[in-house]
Structure 1
Amino acid sequence: MNTLYVNSGSSRPGKDDGEFTASDMLKLLRDHLGILFLFIGVAAALAASYAFLAKPIYSSDVVVRVDPPDPNALGIAPQNQQQMQQMSQTVNQIAPAEISVMQSRSVLEPVVKQFHFDVRVKPKTFPVLGQIAELFAKKGHLAPAWLGLDSYGWGGEQLQIGRLDVPPGLEDQKLDFVLLDNNQYELRDPDGDTLLRGTIGRPATANGVSILVNHVVGRPGMHFDVTRLNTLDAIALMKKTMKVAESAKDTGVVQISFNADDPALTADVANALGQAYLTAAVQARQANDTKTLEFIRGELPRLESDLKKAEGNLSAFRAKSQSVQPINEAQAYLQGSIVSMQQLATLKLQRTQALQKFTPSSPQVQNLNQQIAELESSNKQIQSRFDSMPASERQNAELTRDARVAETIYMGMVNKAEELSVRRASTSGGAHIVDNALRPYRPVKPNKSLVIAAGTGLGFFLGTFFIFLRRHAMIGVTDPMFVERRLSVPVLGEVLYSRQQAMLDHEIAVSPVEHAPLAYSGAQNGSAPKALPHVELPEHDAFAMPHVAETHRDARVLATRYPHDPAVEALRAVRTELYRDLANAPNNIVMLTGPIPSAGKSFVAANLSVLLAEIGLRVLLIDADMRRGHIASFFKQSNPGGLSEVLKGEMALGDAIRYVGVPGLSFMSCGGYPENPSELLMMPGFRNMLARMSDQFDLVIVDTPPFLVVTDAAIVASDAGSTVLVLRSGIQSEEEIEETVKKVQRSGGRLVGSVFNAIPRRPSNRRSYGYAAAYTSTFKPVN
């Protein structure tokens, strides 16, 4: 018979293919809580270990206020609004500029030299054990050596070097410092050659190396790694341990912080940084004052000459014209032009000073040129408003203006020169310390609670990521809904993994077959069985033979040993679905197959046959896997004397049918493994045998080899009225399941559904088997 694939319509409504919702996410996490908690636990433990064992880091800061620049550097205060805005912008920009100065080499290098940050000292420790021992040692208290290894450091060692100068070729190279007896030491180069020998507390010089060792805590024979860093490298490393930032925007208050594992050192270095910056600021201010004073002194003779000239011209004009003060109109002209000309003269002086430091094309000089041009244009507009004024009055006003401007500029420069002379001799100014650094008592790092919380969160994230990655990377399908959503193949039942079945599998593997088939009358004394004549099968009553009624108690079938196991209950649901579908099937032959081996076809076939027989059906179970069939072992029987012998004509059909002790159930083993199983199945005898068995029994269940491995299942599928696909959770891939479904269709089989076998008991499906457990929690094996 050649029937097509059909969909029974019992597929449960599901989500769109490929959709992964929040509920699926929660379900996945619930199913793998063990993995998730493992990641969280490990991450939290590592974070806690770091939080409690890592060296505490302390931070101390000094607060410095940066003085704004002198707004009247030449002694002439600006008058226009534009200059006031420029000075305000200069004040706002002073803090970022000074922060760069605080991180410059001129400030950091003296501190590096003062605290010997260009010399690195580290005791040589034994791998792993040495690091562990250091965690429990106290600074300055020499810890006892482990395992008698005195040459290694085990905690508490100290080496204080007051000075170390090496040739450029030995910079950034590890030198070996060996402590000897009697306060002696030896310094070796990276090749192990001795550079010098010295005494603690005394300078030593040899081979271009100069060193002063102030203090040592250690055992004779102990080794220290000593490295003289290049100054630039030492400054770069120091920048990583400090932070300079403005306390509040546009305030000029800057905070200098330094981090270290020694709280006393932290405060000392922070204060040293503040003092180093103050020294640099004073030196920079003194240098600037010196240059400004030199400029003013250079300009004063010319300004004095301009003042005398302007006053002489004014006096001569007034004597000639016999006028003393300008008239009212001239006074207005005079008032406006004096301010403008004073600003213009100030800008020109500033440009002259700027040209001593910058090129004519620099932004500073160009900005001054622009301001001068704007003022000259403004002066022309002022003068144009007084063109109608009498020439004598206008001349009088202009001469008066020139004299006043010259006097103001000259006197301002004289006063500024006196101020700079006094300020240049001062050792303060430019910046001052608001708060000195104090010794901290609490470490800033690690923040134990934050580290543990972050570690826990990281563990949760990594665990979740691993679970999702594992789900997407896993080849085997674990979700029964995939078959329904993607392939529209109904899932007849979801069979949970059974521990009892695992014990039965172990029993089958370790226990030999105890007896031969009950109705087998084949060869004896090792001779091959002869072809027996075909006989009529016994009537229904004969399948409940009294002399074999007790055999099922010893069968290794879950449905007979543990009839109330949740897996058996799930198979009863499969029995219901299958029995309901038989009304629509072309015949009563049901084939069980799967994509690949180890899906559990034989387990499902044997238990399903027992359950169908329990409802009063005459069931014949045929093991058609003539390659690896082993259903006979479930009933403690052997394979020979079954299907292969019948198809080869070596045994009569009636003699190959066995009785396994379950009322209504008959069994035909696969027989001995032949060399040509596919050819035997393609012979007309197999189809005729199935047709005859279909007439004699209410239901014929045929267990076949995997569909994707050999062609045997495809041969049987065309003769079976129903095909059930047995899948095992996590074994077969999506592609394998899809290919199996396609091959069943191409072979003419009628696929009625699938059975998802050996589903792990997970929290997300606890509800499904929880009810069964409530009814079967007290079940015991049938004796």
Structure 2
Amino acid sequence: MTQANNTAATNRQDNDEIDIGFLLGSLWDHKIFIIVLTAIFAVAGLVYATLATPIYQADALVQVEKRSGTIGGANVGNLLGNQEPSTSTEVEILRSRMILGQVVDQTDLDVQITPNTWPVIGEWLLRRGMQRPGFAEGSDTVWAGETLSIRELVASHDSNTLQLTLRSEGQGSYTVLDAQGNELGKGRVNQKLTIENPWLELTVNELTAPAGATYTVIKRSHLSAIGGLQGRLEVQSRGETGILRLNITGPDRSELVESLNATTNVFLTQNIARQAAAADKSLEFLEEQAPKLREQLTAAEDRLNEYRLQSDSIDLSFETQNALNGLVSIESSLNQLQLQETELARRFTPNHPVYRSLLEKKEQLLREKARLEERTGNLPETQQQILRLSRDVKVTQEIYVQLLNRMQELRLARAGTVGNVRILDDAVVQGQVAPKRNLIVAVAGMSGLLLAMIIVLLRAAFNRGIVSPEQLEELDLPVYATVPLSEEENRRNTKGKNAGKRKGKSKGGLLAVRNPADLSIEAIRGLRTSLHFAMMEGSNNRLVITGPSPAIGKSFMSANLAAICAQAGQKVVVVDGDMRKGHVHEAFKQDSHNGLSEVLSGKLEFAQAVKTSEVEGLSLVSRGSAPPNPSELLMQARFTEFLDYLSEHFDLVIIDTPPILAVTDAAIIGKQCGTTLMVVRFGQNTPKEIQIAENRLATGGVTLKGTILNAMEKKAATSYGYYGYYNYSYKSE
């Protein structure tokens, strides 16, 4: 099992393969952080969904029929040759500026009124019907029941948006301000206010807000208001059924119903007007031609009567009568085609199939007419003249009758036009479509969960501290002890830091005295045994305990190791070698005065610096007052003399030094000591830091004997594959 753990640890350090077990374990170790961050995001999403302005949707149903019927079954489109428009065409007409522009004019969508409310929660309070509280009297905010209604707002601008501020002055009066807060004019309810610069006319028909309340009034350009309506309007076609569903969204329910109903009504009116417009244009053309044809008919009749009188009323022969009837029929047909050609020429080019068919038919009739005229060329001159004059009368009469009939048909068609659009359902607000509270909360919670997982995984990926003894052994550093994290000491340190912030300092005492059965103390007892054999090779009885960085437990290790060695019958002294920030004296419940710095500066004798403790056989040398030059004091001969003094009077001298990566004090002290151990903090110190610290010591001539892995924790990320920490609790009754 140990071999498998070593192999897994080696693989983790030597390659960059993804370790799923380590990543999952890291997530499990930080489950509280993940849960808290997820909950924070979910609550934030809930707050947003609650405070956000609700958006509602209204819909209406419109039918576009194939062709609407008219009186007597007449059909305007058929009379004029119109083709059936597709549903997609009607959809585009509905969304056109022609339709929506009239809707904007009818519903005043170009005027937007926004009450001034509190930031973030003001609109929510307004929707909840919150009346103005006493502390808000005289403020510029608007509360429930305080309304402003504008009947008319006409401005000189067309392409720009005009922003105004309307402030209530109480008693139905108000003041108009521009966007910069400059006063433009004063007015009263139901009275027109005219402002010269910028020119505008304003009529307020309702103002119930008290004095001081302000509203932002925006007069949008006509094009901007149409664009806003187009953005909110959606038209859906249901296949080839001709059914169109109109949807519009917005925060104001009454405005949605009003705007959508106006859209359907304008569309219906436009459709009817479009159907009748074609008949109106054709009827107008025919009414212009009717008097001219009437004059031509009168003139033709007069010429025929005059010739008959001159020729003594010569009658037509049978052959001439037949020729006359044929020519009249052809002329009538040609005239009808001429009318159709005039109408088609407005909408089609001569290359259009309908236009070409008409021209071919016209050419055929002209050829038939030429043939009949050739046959009548052999008749007597009198018969030919009578034929020509009679033909003119009958043809003109026939054309005139056709024209009158066509005019009557168009009048009937125009009178019976009802359009091919029918409103099936008026606008109704279906409900709130945004924000979707459940979806927002779910998305926010998932975002928080994902963010928390990313943070944890990134920290796990970029902060790979030492988590097992095997990793230290891979650096060719023996591990003399693995000391588990003491929950009791951790709690006391946390409380001590808080108390230190309040009171200036905290004195915790020795864990070896308070709780000798603590797992950390048991592990340090194992270190005492290993240390006995390690120091046998040393040149003296001095032990240096250092580390690569601060806050890794050096002082804790030094003080409690000294206490355990003293409890075993040895005479031990602990020297706080960190004259800058040392705090070993706190574990002994003493102060830092009269310590190492005073001894090295010659202000204190050796014996006077050694202080006794509550543990028999255990003494302390505190750091003393913080000197300006700690490194220089350590390099003096007096420090060597002091160490010799301690070695003569104690069985074991333990020196707690500053971090080697921060200052060089540890290398100076270690040079005069026989054994040096490095404390490594679980999950904090990286292999790179340890290698650099070892090199720093080696550069100063200090050989690192081994390491102590401190504050071991049982975590899912580290217990999987790499390190499993098992323990037993053994206490006396």
TM-score scaled by structure 2?
A: 0.64
- In 2, Cα distance between the equivalents of 1:51 and 1:631? 55
Aligned partners of 1:48 and 1:448 also within 8 Å: yes
Match of 1:64 among 62, 65, 88: 62
CA–CA distance in 2 between the matches of 1:422 and 1:509?
99
Contact preservation (8 Å) 1:137, 1:155: yes
- Do the aligned partners of 1:744 and 1:751 also contact (CA within 8 Å) in 2? yes
Which amino acid counterpart does residue 114 of structure 1 have in structure 2?
Q
Secondary structure at the residue paired with 1:437? Answer: strand
- Cα contact 2:63–2:421 (8 A) shared by 1: yes
Separation of aligned partners in 1, 2:656 and 2:446: 50
CA–CA separation in structure 2 for the residues paired with 1:627 and 1:722: 23
Paired AA for residue 150 in structure 2: I
Distance 2:441 2:508 in 1: 56
Residue correspondence of structure 1 range 434-445 to structure 2 within 5 A: 434-440=424-430, 442-445=431-434
Residues 589/103 of structure 1: CA separation in 2 closer, same or farther (3 Å cut): farther
Among 232, 242, 256, which residue is 2:233 paired with? 242
Of residues 91, 107, 113, the one that matches 2:99 is: 107
Task: Label 1:453 to 1:73 Cα distance change in 2 as closer, same or farther (>3 A).
Answer: same
CA contact (8 A) 1:483 1:490 kept: no
2:3 aligns to what?
A: none
Q: Distance in 2 between matches of 1:673 and 1:171?
A: 70
1:451 aligned to 436, 440, 463, which one?
A: 440
1:59–1:443 Cα contact (<8 Å) kept: yes
Distance 1:99 1:581, change over 3 A: farther
- The answer to whether the 8 Å contact 1:196/1:206 transfers is no
* Corresponding residue number in structure 1 for 2:209: 218
Residue 32 (structure 1) shift? 4.2
User: Contact between 1:657 and 1:667, CA under 8 Å: does it hold in 2?
Assistant: yes
1:120 aligns with 2:112: yes
Q: Give the aligned length.
A: 619
When structure 1 is superposed on structure 2, of 699-708 and 717-726 the one drifting more is 717-726
Q: 5 Å matches for 1:510-659?
A: 556-572=509-525, 574-575=527-528, 590-614=543-567, 621-625=574-578, 629-632=582-585, 634-635=587-588, 640=594, 645=599
Distance 1:162-1:76 versus aligned 2 partners, 3 A rule: closer
TM-score w.r.t. length of structure 1: 0.61
Cα offset for 1:221?
6.1
Matched, 1:15 2:12: yes
Rounded Cα–Cα distance in structure 2 between residues aligned with 1:177 and 1:705: 69
Once the 2 structures are TM-superposed, how far is the Cα of residue 96 of structure 1 from its aligned partner? Answer: 4.6
Shift of 1:48: 3.0
CA shift for structure 1 position 174: 0.8
Amino acid at match of 1:15: R
- Indicate conservation of the 8 Å contact 1:621/1:701, yes or no: yes
Displacement after TM superposition at 1:593 (Å): 1.0
Deviation at 1:73, TM superposition (A): 8.2
Per-residue displacement from partner, 1:717-764 (whole Å, max 9, x unpaired)? Answer: 456565332345798788655532332344454445544556799897
Change (3 A) 1:596 1:451: closer
Distance in 1 (alpha carbons) for counterparts of 2:107 and 2:225: 11
| Identity between Structure 1 and Structure 2 (%) | 28
Task: Provide, for residues 64-121 of structure 1, a one-character-per-residue CA deviation record: whole Å limited to 9, x for no partner.
Answer: 3445799x989999xxxxxxxxx9xx98xx4555433322211112222222111122
Deviations 1:478-528 (A, max 9, x none): 664599389746764354252335677899999999xxxxxxxxxxxxxxx
CA distance in 2, matches of 1:724, 1:274: 88
Distance 1:749 1:119, change over 3 A: same
- Provide the rounded CA distance (Å) in 2 between the counterparts of 1:694 and 1:433: 107
Q: Is 1:460 equivalent to 2:413 in the alignment?
A: no
- What is the aligned partner in structure 2 of residue 43 from structure 1? 41
Would the aligned equivalents of 2:573 and 2:620 in 1 still touch at CA under 8 Å?
yes
Deviations 1:413-470 (A, max 9, x none): x999999886666544454434333343x42333333333333333334444555677
Give the CA RMSD over aligned residues: 5.9
Residue 137 of structure 2 aligns to a residue whose secondary structure is coil
Please say if residues 153 and 203 of structure 2, whose CA atoms lie closer than 8 Å, have aligned partners that are also in contact: yes
Describe how 1:358-397 pairs up with structure 2 within 5 A: none
Alignment of 1:382-421 (within 5 A): none
* Alpha-carbon contact 1:642-1:657 (below 8 Å) kept: no
Query: Residue 438 of structure 1: SS of its match in structure 2?
Result: strand
Correspondences of 1:266-277 after superposition (within 5 Å): 266-277=256-267
Q: Which runs of 5+ in 1 are unaligned?
A: 1-8, 78-86, 298-347, 373-397, 404-413, 514-553
CA separation of 1:494 and 1:106: change in aligned 2, threshold 3 A:
farther
Instruction: Give the conservation status (yes or no) of the 8 Å contact 2:22–2:717.
Output: no
* 1:172 Cα deviation from its structure 2 partner: 1.6
- Report if aligned partners of 1:171, 1:230 keep a CA contact under 8 Å in 2: yes
Q: Counterparts in 2 of 1:116-195, with a 5 A limit? A: 116-125=108-117, 131=123, 133-137=125-129, 143=132, 146-149=135-138, 152-168=141-157, 171-176=161-166, 178=168, 180-181=170-171, 183=172, 187=176, 189=178, 192-195=182-185
Structure 2's unaligned 5+ residue stretches are 1-5, 69-75, 288-340, 357-362, 369-402
Deviation for aligned residue 1:211:
3.4
Aligned pairs for 1:764-779 (under 5 A) are: 775=729
1:256-295 mapped onto 2 (5 Å cutoff): 256-284=246-274
Specify the code of the residue in structure 2 equivalent to 1:236: G
Tell me, yes or no, if the aligned pair for 1:484 and 1:490 is still in contact at 8 Å.
no
Q: Tell me how far apart the structure 2 counterparts of residues 762 and 277 of structure 1 sit (CA, whole Å).
A: 71
2:200 paired residue number: 209
SS in 2 for 1:595: coil
In structure 2, the residue matched to 1:233 is 224
- 1:188–1:196: 8 Å Cα contact kept in structure 2? no
1:232 is displaced (CA, Å) by 1.6
How far off its partner does 1:296 sit?
13
Deviation at 1:58, TM superposition (A): 2.4
Evaluate the alpha carbon distance shift between residue 126 and residue 679 of structure 1 in structure 2; reply closer, same or farther with a 3 A threshold. Answer: closer
